[in-house]
Amino acid sequence: MRVKVSDLLSRVGGGAFGLALGLGQAGCAKKGGVGAKTPEGAGAAAVAPGGEVAATPGGQQYGISDAPSSGEAANRPKMNAKALQAYLAGMQAFQNGDLESARTQLLAATQADGNAYQAFYSLGTVRERLGEKAGAQTMYRKALQIVADYEPAIVSLALLMARSGRTGEAESLLADYQAKMPKSAAVVAALAEVKSIEGDSAEAQRLAQEALKKNPDYRPAMVTLARDHYRNRRLDLAMYALRGILDGYGDENPPRDEGNAEARLIRGLIYKEQGNKQGAIEEFKQAISLRPDLVEARVQLAAYYLESGNAKDAAPLLESALRYDKNNVMAHLDLGDAYRLLGQTAEAKRELEWVLDKDPNVAQAYYNLGLLYLFSDGVPGVSKKAAPDLAIASFEAYKEKRPRKQSGAPDDTDELITRAKTKKALIEAEEAQAAPPPPPPPPPPTESTDTAKKESSTGSLPPVE
């Protein structure tokens, strides 16, 4: 059952709702750029009281239930009305990509109700998005102090540890909760994801299957199975698992969760690898409609638009992606290229320089800067004469930083350097032609001029006595 955000104000009941993250950086692999990465396990964006799926005012789903995966009833404190109002405002701000306002409103909710475990959890997810890992961890633990078996906080805390390279701590945390909550499918599925991140695919698959035995309808475990197959390049098996989630296997086996945004993102990435451009685009679009905060899908879809020269549609997708993940290198890189194509040279230069300041080894940023200096007019702070030299330097840096060229792969860098040198020569020729002619040399001395000089010199001497 879906409910609208506006309906939630009148329903201060059991259950919970919380924002969560899609933190996987599934970047777009481009020439010398940041390669595509496996989308990591992402949580819900928002859940409603009573464990029902929340929806945006327009009906778009952006969350999943946080009802206990064991199926047992939960005795949880109710959020008071003042806290709920602030919480909903924070949820709306999150949906709009305004994370600072979301943080402010969620903090207000925790201050209005010290037992609002949903607000503490949601504040943790927002702080994690903002790069405040220690603060996020504190909020997750605070939610667990209030509701000791609150699965979204357990899962988010463990995956934050794992994505930060602390897989041992994550395993220890989940093992403790597994002993306390033996019926929980969520805890076992989270442990499966941690094992997959570690590279132990066999154990990840076993644990995900174990989670499904505890709760055959636990969707995150299904996605973990597919993601682990994808992560380990078993694309056929990943597609088979995704088919069960999104399409089903006929009338007797209907789709388990056709509105699962993460599953659609993974299938879009596989379609992209297989060269199925239209299929990938459709999956990314659906993922965004289901999860407006899913950064990976926005970046991937924008990359397709840029490939076809459609910077007008790419730029808003990338701007929205950066509202949810301001440090996403791939989004900044592609946004710089989109601005270049739109003629917004100052903005393009700002984005590309941000990328190089963040990571000087991103070769594609040098290439895109070279294009900016070579083909754009009026780059702020760059004279017409200096632009070709900067373009040449950028392309040379790209050649130095880029990955080793694949056999048969086209490379136009040398051609672009030649064009930049030609442009430089033309500018120098134009300047030489426009320069005023030098003054004529003085005329050669004549006989009359020499006589006059002698007379003048003689006349200046005093008479001889």
CATH no. for residue 419? 1.25.40
Orientation angle between helical segments 261-273 and 235-246, nearest 10 degrees: 140
Overall number of domains in the chain: 2
| Alpha-carbon torsion (212, 179, 186, 236), positive or negative | negative
Same domain, 392 and 256: no
Q: CA nearest 125: which of 42, 69, 194, 51?
A: 42
Same domain, 310 and 361: no
Are the C-beta atoms of residues 351 and 336 closer than 8 Å to each other? yes
CATH no. for residue 86? 1.25.40.10
What is each CA distance from 232 to 28, 37, 92, 279, 454, in whole angstroms? 18, 12, 37, 22, 101
User: Three-state DSSP class for 47?
Assistant: strand
Q: Which token pair is 295?
A: 């950064």
pLDDT digits 0-9 by tens, 193-252: 999 999 999 999 999 999 999 999 999 999 999 999 999 999 999 999 999 999 999 888
| Residue 316 in domain | yes
pLDDT digits 0-9 by tens, 243-293: 999 999 988 899 999 999 999 999 999 999 999 999 999 999 999 999 999
User: Residue 426 belongs to what domain range?
Assistant: 356-404+411-432
Same domain, 264 and 371: no
Same domain, 308 and 393: no
pTM comes to 0.81
| Residue 52 in domain | yes
The last residue of a domain, from among 342, 376, 392? 342
Cα end-to-end span (Å), the chain: 131
Same domain, 315 and 368: no
pLDDT digits 0-9 by tens, 318-342: 999 999 999 999 999 999 999 999 9
Alpha-carbon torsion, ordered 300, 224, 152, 265, to 10 deg: 20
Same domain, 231 and 174: yes
